[in-house]
Structure 1
Amino acid sequence: LSFISCDHLVDLCKNTISDSEMVNKVRMHRTKCANIVKNIIAPYFKKDLTTDLGQGKFCLLLDESTDISAVR
């Protein structure tokens, strides 16, 4: 999901989970969403991934099939 969709995601949650008082108080737009991902979620998953990989060897494959900068 893009950060732009955060503007609409909270509204969707409010419509879907209308009986929750906490959800109705949530306010989040793309700036706050980006900061939450960058400063809270990303460090957690980075640490989790580092723990899972440990000192083992791994291979990283990149798929650029949707990269519009690729020249044919």
Structure 2
Amino acid sequence: MPRLTHNVVCKARSYAGEDGITRNACQTIGAAWPDENGQLTRIRLYTVPVSWNGTLLRRLPQRSSSCLKTV
């Protein structure tokens, strides 16, 4: 069984934080892991959001709720 190395996320929405700065919220839509030789990255999508713009981000698993850079 392959070991998950990354989450696959997409931008779900933008919102204004309490400090007035616009931030992006993300949604985990899949997982990624290296193949047996470590040369390719396999990606499995669990869902595709309706409002998805086609851009995926491969992120290390993390506990933080904000996973995209502040705009």
TM-score by length of 1: 0.22
Answer 1 or 2: which has greater helix percent: 1
Name the structure, 1 or 2, with higher relative contact order (CA <8 Å, separation 6+): 2
Answer 1 or 2: which has greater strand percent: 2
Q: Is the radius of gyration larger for structure 1 or structure 2?
A: 1
